[in-house]
Amino acid sequence: MCMAVPGRVVGKGIVEISGSRKRVKFAVPGLQEGDYVLVHAGVAIQKLSRADYEALLRSAGSEI
């Protein structure tokens, strides 16, 4: 089973996921600090709206 997780871009190649910062590759051009993304296998594969990001966190039982 494969799973993607939501995160927030905090730097060039750095995404914060559940309070931890991870180095990832950006497969989406033009990502900037503060953008929300979906990360799979160490790659940011999709940009998310804040609303989608928050909905994913709620569905997983996490808090922002």
Would you kindly state where each structural domain of the chain is located, as residue ranges? 5-59
C-alpha dihedral (42, 7, 11, 31), degrees to nearest 10: 90
Two tokens, residue 50 = 């804040």
Confidence (pLDDT) at 25: 97
What type of residue sits at position 10?
V
Tens-digit pLDDT profile for residues 10-57: 999 999 999 999 999 999 999 999 999 999 999 999 999 999 999 998
Q: Which CATH class is domain 5-59?
A: mainly beta
**DSSP assignment, residue 57?**
H
Enter the pTM of the model: 0.88
pLDDT band at 3, cuts 50/70/90? confident
8 touches 15 (CB < 8 A): yes
